[in-house]
Protein backbone atom coordinates (compact mmCIF):
# COMPACT_ATOMS: atom_id res chain seq x y z
CA UNK A 1 0.00 0.00 0.00
CA UNK A 2 2.86 2.42 0.69
CA UNK A 3 4.01 2.49 -2.95
CA UNK A 4 0.41 3.01 -4.06
CA UNK A 5 -0.05 5.85 -1.59
CA UNK A 6 3.20 7.45 -2.77
CA UNK A 7 1.90 7.35 -6.34
CA UNK A 8 -1.43 8.90 -5.30
CA UNK A 9 0.42 11.69 -3.50
CA UNK A 10 2.58 12.30 -6.57
CA UNK A 11 -0.55 12.58 -8.71
CA UNK A 12 -2.07 15.06 -6.25
CA UNK A 13 1.11 17.15 -6.28
CA UNK A 14 0.76 17.59 -10.04
CA UNK A 15 -2.03 20.05 -9.19
CA UNK A 16 0.36 22.25 -7.19
CA UNK A 17 1.63 24.91 -9.57
CA UNK A 18 4.64 27.13 -9.12
CA UNK A 19 3.04 30.58 -9.62
CA UNK A 20 6.09 32.03 -11.34
CA UNK A 21 6.75 29.11 -13.69
CA UNK A 22 3.15 28.02 -14.30
CA UNK A 23 4.05 24.33 -14.10
CA UNK A 24 3.51 21.71 -11.43
CA UNK A 25 6.10 21.17 -8.73
CA UNK A 26 6.41 17.58 -9.97
CA UNK A 27 7.05 18.58 -13.61
CA UNK A 28 9.57 21.19 -12.48
CA UNK A 29 11.53 18.52 -10.61
CA UNK A 30 11.04 20.22 -7.25
CA UNK A 31 9.84 17.03 -5.54
CA UNK A 32 12.89 14.94 -4.66
CA UNK A 33 11.23 12.15 -2.65
CA UNK A 34 7.86 10.92 -1.43
CA UNK A 35 7.79 8.15 1.16
CA UNK A 36 4.73 6.68 2.79
CA UNK A 37 4.49 4.39 5.79
CA UNK A 38 1.72 1.81 6.21
CA UNK A 39 0.12 4.01 8.89
CA UNK A 40 -0.44 6.84 6.38
CA UNK A 41 2.51 8.96 7.45
CA UNK A 42 3.90 10.70 4.36
CA UNK A 43 7.27 12.45 4.14
CA UNK A 44 8.04 14.69 1.19
CA UNK A 45 11.45 16.15 0.39
CA UNK A 46 11.39 19.08 -1.99
CA UNK A 47 13.34 22.08 -3.14
CA UNK A 48 12.74 25.44 -4.78
CA UNK A 49 14.34 26.82 -7.91
CA UNK A 50 16.59 29.11 -5.86
CA UNK A 51 17.73 29.48 -2.27
CA UNK A 52 15.76 32.23 -0.60
CA UNK A 53 12.83 31.77 -2.97
CA UNK A 54 10.07 34.08 -1.71
CA UNK A 55 7.50 31.39 -2.55
CA UNK A 56 9.15 28.64 -0.47
CA UNK A 57 6.61 28.87 2.36
CA UNK A 58 3.68 28.98 -0.04
CA UNK A 59 4.96 25.96 -1.99
CA UNK A 60 5.62 23.92 1.18
CA UNK A 61 2.13 24.65 2.46
CA UNK A 62 0.50 23.89 -0.90
CA UNK A 63 2.40 20.59 -1.14
CA UNK A 64 1.41 19.63 2.40
CA UNK A 65 -2.25 20.50 1.77
CA UNK A 66 -2.41 18.60 -1.53
CA UNK A 67 -0.77 15.52 -0.02
CA UNK A 68 -2.94 15.70 3.09
CA UNK A 69 -6.09 15.64 0.96
CA UNK A 70 -5.21 12.21 -0.47
CA UNK A 71 -7.31 9.40 0.96
CA UNK A 72 -5.20 7.25 3.28
CA UNK A 73 -2.78 10.04 4.26
CA UNK A 74 -2.81 10.57 8.03
CA UNK A 75 0.04 13.07 8.45
CA UNK A 76 2.39 14.92 6.12
CA UNK A 77 5.86 16.27 6.73
CA UNK A 78 7.46 18.46 4.06
CA UNK A 79 11.20 19.01 4.26
CA UNK A 80 12.87 21.69 2.17
CA UNK A 81 16.39 20.97 0.94
CA UNK A 82 18.89 22.47 -1.46
CA UNK A 83 21.01 19.37 -1.88
CA UNK A 84 21.25 18.71 -4.70
CA UNK A 85 20.69 22.18 -6.03
CA UNK A 86 17.83 22.49 -8.50
CA UNK A 87 18.73 23.14 -12.12
CA UNK A 88 16.65 23.63 -15.26
CA UNK A 89 17.65 20.18 -16.57
CA UNK A 90 15.35 18.73 -13.87
CA UNK A 91 12.25 20.03 -15.67
CA UNK A 92 10.26 17.22 -17.25
CA UNK A 93 10.00 17.35 -21.02
CA UNK A 94 6.60 18.17 -22.37
Residue 60 belongs to domain with CATH number: 3.30.300.130
Domain that holds residue 74: 2-89
pLDDT (tens place) for every residue of the chain, 94 residues total: 578 999 999 999 999 999 999 999 999 999 999 999 999 999 999 999 999 999 999 999 999 999 999 999 999 999 999 999 999 999 997 6
Q: Is residue 16 part of a domain?
A: yes
Number of domains in the chain: 1
Q: Is residue 94 part of a domain?
A: no
> Reading across the β-sheet that carries 75-80, which strands appear in turn?
31-36, 41-46, 75-80
Q: Is residue 83 part of a domain?
A: yes
* Full-model pTM: 0.94
Amino acid sequence: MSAGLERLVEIALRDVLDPEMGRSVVDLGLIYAITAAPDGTVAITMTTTTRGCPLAGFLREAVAMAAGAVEGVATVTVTLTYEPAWEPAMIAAG
